[in-house]
Amino acid sequence: MMAMERPLTEHIHPGRAPLDIEQYERLGGYQALRKALTCLSPDDVLKEVTDSKLRGRGGAGFPTGQKWRFVPRGDATPKHKYLVVNADEMEPGTFKDRLLLEGNPHQVIEGVIVSAYAIGASRAYLFVRGEYHLATQRLEQAAAEATSRGYIGTTILGSPFSLELHVHGSAGRYICGEETALLTSLEGKRAIPRAKPPFPQASGLWGRPTVVNNVETLCNVPHIVNRGAAWFRGLSSGADAGTKIYGASGRVRRPGAWELPMGTPLRELLEDHAGGMREGYGLRALLPGGASTSFLTPAHLDVAMDFASVEQAGSRLGTGNMIVLDDRTCPVGMLANLEHFFAQESCGWCTPCRDGLPWVERILRAIERGEGRDDDLDILEMHTRFLGPGKTFCAHAPGAMAPLGSGLACFRDEFERHIRDRACPWSGR
């Protein structure tokens, strides 16, 4: 195996201040911007990104080039198009974007400008999670520096390309991470998702063509422009190209985040990078890509962490930031906590999500307290079916059902024991 490349995090050193614009440029920063604006057409950039097989890092894994290609082009299209950066990282157990935002804000800004150039966006919004004060501050600083260098503004680097860039702090709802709810929120309205079609590329922010990309996705773009699609594809040996920032939380020895080749096996992540379980704790199960993915069990440790493999194992890669459940924590309690989060964060728009999730949460709490009833599992099971994809307005409730559905299968005995014994086996431990 070649020496591992870490293009995204190479210059990130937690605990130290991020690179300022001079340091960033000295290390090759904004070269991709120069190259794109002076040597490449927007179509060239689009082609390179398409060829790189970059897939969205927000969780859904949609091919980035393909997403961009849906943006209408030509003179007959609306005057303003938008690139919106989804930096509303609120998935429980996920903190990869924070690393990028705080650790190397210029890399984010450069990714935004180059990507905006590719899709012909005249305005870019960075929609940052409300609690990410430091990230917001650093992004604003970086944007100001880039503006003073002429990388943001009108006729950038003498090209006809102009870009306005705004850093926008979220008011703090999980649903804002859903791209259409994010757009609605950005317009100053309640964060309620939109039905698709129409897709944001056709009718997004204020009804105009819009692309919403995740932070990590865009951070890859300057590197792809600089070093080419083939290089990017070569970063991983698996089906998906590039690197991925994986992470782990829970009772592991070294919780954290690591940039690794896409498709790194779960076992390597857990045992080599996270250092295995803490002393006295065994691995019970894990959510591989955030709270809205299905449980994997120790039987799945050899699964490669790429989109297709994790899906084949019955879950989703999601954000690639896993939450580890140990054998000394009540799984029903964990699910109750998770469903509390999802119930709280429901936007209240569609009935199954708004009124179903609180019911689920209350049943789980009741079971955990030893107040479960025989038909509770049937009701939970009904919810896992009827809060599934296509039945609710957006993916929020289906995401909430992913851990519940798999949890009911993985921990059936524990559920039944709670109900039968009228007590939580873990309580008092």
Instruction: Answer yes or no: are the C-beta atoms of 70 and 201 closer than 8 Å.
Output: yes
Instruction: Report how far apart, in Å, the C-alpha atoms of 324 and of each of 230, 264, 287, 379 are.
Output: 35, 17, 7, 27
Q: How is residue 161 written in tokens?
A: 């390309």
Instruction: Answer yes or no: are the C-beta atoms of 109 and 85 closer than 8 Å.
Output: no
Site membership for another protein, residue 81 (CB under 8 A):
no
Instruction: Report how far apart, in Å, the C-alpha atoms of 243 and of each of 228, 315, 352 are.
Output: 14, 20, 37
Give the shortest CB-105-to-another protein separation in angstroms: 31
Closer residue to another protein, CB minimum distance, 158 or 197: 197
Instruction: Answer yes or no: are the C-beta atoms of 289 and 56 closer than 8 Å.
Output: no
Site membership for another protein, residue 197 (CB under 8 A):
yes
Instruction: Answer yes or no: are the C-beta atoms of 240 and 307 closer than 8 Å.
Output: yes
Stretch that binds another protein, among 31-39, 90-98, 128-136, 353-361 (CB under 8 A): 353-361
Q: Which of 13, 26, 166, 190 binds another protein (CB under 8 A)?
A: 190
Where b means 16+ CB within 10 Å and e means fewer, 30-52 reads: bebbbbbbeebebeebbbbbbbb
Q: Which of 358, 416, 417, 426 binds another protein (CB under 8 A)?
A: 358
Residue 371 to residue 257: CA distance in whole angstroms: 39
**Best CA proximity match to 56, nearest among 320, 389, 402, 237:** 320
**Best CA proximity match to 409, nearest among 282, 295, 326, 302:** 295
Give the shortest CB-92-to-another protein separation in angstroms: 16
Site membership for another protein, residue 377 (CB under 8 A):
no
Site membership for another protein, residue 195 (CB under 8 A):
yes
Residue 210 main-chain phi, psi, to 5 deg: -145, 140
Site membership for another protein, residue 247 (CB under 8 A):
no
Residue tagged 């600089």 (tokens): 226
Q: Which of 386, 413, 422, 427 binds another protein (CB under 8 A)?
A: 386
Closer residue to another protein, CB minimum distance, 195 or 299: 195
Q: Which of 11, 55, 173, 244 binds another protein (CB under 8 A)?
A: 173
Closer residue to another protein, CB minimum distance, 222 or 352: 352
**Best CA proximity match to 87, nearest among 74, 96, 78, 76:** 96
Closer residue to another protein, CB minimum distance, 153 or 370: 370
Q: Which of 194, 251, 284, 300 binds another protein (CB under 8 A)?
A: 194
Give the shortest CB-378-to-another protein separation in angstroms: 9
199-204: Cβ within 8 A, 24+ apart = 199/70, 201/67, 201/68, 201/70, 201/71, 201/72, 202/70, 202/72, 204/82, 204/84
Site membership for another protein, residue 393 (CB under 8 A):
yes
Q: How is residue 137 written in tokens?
A: 């501050």
Stretch that binds another protein, among 23-31, 134-142, 295-303, 374-382 (CB under 8 A): 374-382
Stretch that binds another protein, among 34-42, 229-237, 244-252, 378-386 (CB under 8 A): 378-386
Site membership for another protein, residue 391 (CB under 8 A):
yes
Site membership for another protein, residue 233 (CB under 8 A):
no
Stretch that binds another protein, among 83-91, 100-108, 109-117, 195-203 (CB under 8 A): 195-203
Q: Which of 160, 188, 390, 428 binds another protein (CB under 8 A)?
A: 390
Residues 61-80, interacting with another protein (CB under 8 A):
78
Residue 345 to residue 394: CA distance in whole angstroms: 13
Binding site for another protein (CB under 8 A): 78, 173, 190, 194-195, 197-198, 202-203, 206-208, 343-352, 354-359, 362, 366, 373, 375, 379, 382, 386, 390-393
